[in-house]
Amino acid sequence: MMKAMKVYEALNWASSFLKKNDRDENAGELLLRHHMKLDRAQLFSRMQDMMPMDMQSSFIFNVHKHVAGIPVQYLMGKEEFYGRSFFVSEEVLIPRPETEELVVGVLDRVKKHFGNGSGSADETWSVVDVGTGSGAIAITLALENSLLNVHATDIAGESLEVAMDNAEALGADVEFLQGDLLLPFIEQDIKVDVVVSNPPYIPQKEYEGLSTVVKDFEPYRALVGGISGLEFYERFMDELPKVLKERAIVAFEVGMGQGEAVKALLEKTFPHSAVEVVLDINGKDRMVFALIG
């Protein structure tokens, strides 16, 4: 029979077990806080408490699951993004901190490129988040700037269900459409002001070398961008001119080393645009922005 543990003993066991199995020790604290429904300060104030046996069993079970490769976020069913908690499942990519920087870049450029509006209540700008997954980008944009009329597309209905649950939980007004890239807008001849996307961009040959935590559990369709990793950006170049207004913004997240290639694609498609490759907080090329018109 399993020995009952105090909170600090459970945390020490998890940290040691995770480290021994080449997993991030911090996952133990995240899972413990999740099971005990405590924030960090509360957890540390309860270190001498005995853990209820059923909670202890569930915690240990999930630590073993993480060692087997299942991401902590899927075990908890949530991830933080831009200060908000988003539902996640194996149908969607786990939101990353780098993508928060993409959102900041979009919000900043909307103000600079379009201005803050003339004060008219009905003056808004239409934004499309393509390949929305959990809805993190679309929902955050909608909540951070009320002048944005946000739409989001995804080819997978399962992903859209997660995104719609997040929008409802967070009170975000976002219209969700199922379809491949920008086709829902092309088919209806709808023009928009901003297109933002964090598309699949991992080259096929690099996919096999990914951590099992990513490769074996996050959706393949959200990760791999063809042989070169640039397949979706190249497809965007055919579709963007059909949906963008004369004055517009394009914002992409890109993989490391892809910035200049994506910039060249945008400059060829929109010769009179101002295209910029922006580094993330780690100094890697991560975002490409095009200001058009």
* pLDDT tens sequence across 139-178: 999 999 999 999 999 999 999 999 999 999 999 999 999 9
- Please indicate whether residue 239 or residue 121 has the higher confidence score (pLDDT): 239
Residue 93: pLDDT band (50, 70, 90) is: confident
Q: Using the predicted structure, report yes or no on whether residue 58 has a pLDDT greater than 50.
A: yes
193-250 pLDDT, tens digit per residue, is 999 999 988 877 777 777 776 666 766 676 777 777 899 999 999 999 999 999 999 9
> Which residues in 21-30 are b (16+ Cβ under 10 Å) and which e?
eebeeebbbb
Q: Using the predicted structure, report yes or no on whether residue 258 has a pLDDT greater than 80.
A: yes
Query: How far is residue 221 from each of residues 8, 103, 119, measured CA to CA in Å?
Result: 40, 22, 42
Burial class (CB in 10 A: 0-12, 13-18, 19+), 114: middle
71-89 pLDDT, tens digit per residue, is 999 999 999 999 999 999 9
Dist CA 63 CA 213 (whole Å):
13
As separate numbers, helices (DSSP H) first and strands (DSSP E) second, the chain gives 13, 9
Q: What angle do CA 154, 158, 162 make, to 5 degrees?
A: 85
The residue type of 249 is I
Q: Using the predicted structure, report yes or no on whether residue 278 has a pLDDT greater than 90.
A: yes
28-47 pLDDT, tens digit per residue, is 999 999 999 999 999 999 99
- Please state the pTM of the whole predicted model: 0.89
Residue 116: pLDDT band (50, 70, 90) is: low
- Joined together, the tokens standing for residue 39 give 């924030």
Q: What is the pLDDT of residue 121?
A: 47
